Amino acid sequence: MRVGLVCAHSGPEGRTGSSAAGTHQDIARIAAELTGRGHEVRVYQRRDDPGLPETEQLDGYLVERIAAGPSRITGTGDLIPHVPEYAARLAEHWSGTWRPDVVHGHFWLGGLVAASAVRATDIPVVQTFHSLATSQQRRLGAQYDGPRQRITLERALTRAVDLAVAQCTDEVDELTRMGLQRADVVVVPTAVDVEKFHPDGESEPRDGRPRILSVSGLAPGHGQDDLIRAMRLIGDAELVIAGGPEAGGLAHHAEARRLNELARQAGVAGQVRLLGEVPHSRLPAWYRSADVVACTARYAPAGRVPLEAMACGVPVVGYALGGVADTVVDQVTGRLVPTGDARGLGMTLRRLLADDAGRFAYGHAAVDRVRSSYTWERAVGALERLYDRVVLRRKPAPA
């Protein structure tokens, strides 16, 4: 099968020093796994850096970077006027000798490009949003700062695709409210590389205090302020927050300054440590160094961090929403707390840090859960079956 994966932005391929882990790495892994299964895969991205090659062969699949609009565009909303040009260039690509059997759009802008490019063809479109503006707006309130047109465009996109891939059950409900039929939404959760994330290996040094680790973006809505407030109830423990700019830029980062001031006001400044950006290759060592990983974002559809922590044998305490609620089994692999309940968060962390046997049992169950349900082989196998389904549905019946 020929598979085209479409994104609106360039990924980290070819960028020296790129250490961010996220959705682009997942897309690259999907492309590599599909190629290993015998499919012919091409990943399409908008060429937003003149220093990157137009085409690049990686792990058996081809990355094609399409010129559409100016190279440097800062805001996501600024890409919207260039969607028609990007789509037209893709349609031109697919009118030649290489034509995909199925197209998989990623992010809302990538989906708009993919759906527009195949409009005059019978090529089916599968769509993964990765995040939904309606959910973000509901969860984050005034902290949501996405483009104002996004909700309308995402609703329109649900009417143009053959099937949507949700990352968690909350996202299924949201997509059906947006107009998709329930039968056309399938949950395929994100996966974790169990060869990289596992309990055995080096861990980052630590002092004698219990360690709570938070791994997320450094921005309002990620819940680090709830964790800092909860530290007053936990006692002598260390909260390590990984994410944000490089360590040298923390002093000039507004959210980092706000969190440090909050820790000072709460009387826990000596217990809170901001790391800044951590290379993805170092994350397993940080997970292994922790007694508990806390996941407190107000919006978390993917569940990537709890899965990585669980794969390393570390129990997770998190808010009961999105991908966290789907991946963490309460009182089996960790604990779930009502969203925004800083007091409940603090008391739960305190009890778990004092329960060595409980953490040991949760950690073992967590590793088993990841290896049985969240491997890349399982995730890509599910996508492969979805591609077969939409291709057969679009293919004319034999005479």
Average pLDDT, integer, range 279-304: 95
**Residue 111 and residue 12 in one domain:** yes
Same domain, 307 and 386: no
Q: Same domain, yes or no, for 36 and 104?
A: yes
Q: Which domain holds residue 61?
A: 2-191+376-394
The answer, yes or no, to whether residue 390 has pLDDT greater than 90, is: yes
Whether residue 258 is predicted with pLDDT greater than 60 in this model: the reply is: yes
Average pLDDT of the chain is 92
Give residue-wise pLDDT tens across range 198-208. Answer: 999 999 999 99
pLDDT at 399: 47
Residue 217 shares a structural domain with residue 312: yes
- Across 332-345, average pLDDT: 97
142/58 same-domain check: yes
**Cβ 25 vs Cβ 61: under 8 Å:** no
Sheet order of strands, 185-187 included:
55-58, 61-66, 40-46, 2-6, 102-106, 125-128, 163-166, 185-187
- Overall domain count for the chain: 2
Q: Is residue 333 part of a domain?
A: yes
Considering the domain boundaries, does residue 38 fall inside one? yes
Nearest to 288 by CA among 204, 219, 385: 204
204 in a domain, yes or no? no
List the end-to-end C-alpha distance of the chain, in Å, as a whole number: 23
| 174, part of any domain | yes
Give CA–CA dist 361/363, Å, rounded. Answer: 5
Could you tell me if residue 270 is left (phi over 0), alpha (psi between -120 and 50 degrees) or otherwise beta? Answer: alpha
- Contact by Cβ (8 Å): 15, 57: no
Q: Please give the average per-residue pLDDT across 101-107, as a whole number.
A: 97
Query: Is 206 within the bounds of a domain?
Result: no
Q: Does the pLDDT at position 52 exceed 50?
A: yes
The angle subtended at Cα 302 by Cα 118 and Cα 326, nearest 5°, is 125
Give the confidence band of 20 by pLDDT, cuts at 50, 70, 90. very low
Same domain, 29 and 133: yes
Residue 203 covered by a domain: no
Least-confidence region, from 4-13, 62-71, 210-219, 292-301:
4-13
Same-domain pairing of 246 and 350: yes
47 and 157 part of one domain: yes
List CB contacts of 222: < 8 A, sequence separation 6 or more: 216, 243, 296, 297, 298
SS3 content of the chain, % helix, strand, coil (to 5): 45, 15, 40
| Tokens coding 282 | 């170092």
pLDDT category of residue 69 using cuts at 50, 70 and 90: confident
Inform me whether the pLDDT recorded for 17 exceeds 80: no
Identify the CATH number of the domain in which residue 27 sits: 3.40.50.2000
pLDDT exceeding 90 applies to what percent of the chain? 82
What's the pTM? 0.92
Q: Confidence band (pLDDT; 50, 70, 90) for 16?
A: very low
Residue 15's pLDDT is: 40
Compute the CA torsion angle 282, 288, 294, 297 (nearest 10 deg). Answer: 30
Tell whether the model's pLDDT for residue 355 goes beyond 50: yes
How many Å apart are CA 197 and CA 185, to the nearest integer? 29
Q: Do both 112 and 250 map to the same domain? A: no
* pLDDT at position 288: 98
- 231 lies in the same domain as 168: no
Decide if 319 contacts 296 (C-beta within 8 A): yes
167 and 229 co-located in one domain = no
**pLDDT of 133 above 80:** yes
Are 235 and 136 part of one and the same domain? Answer: no
pLDDT the model gives residue 19: 32
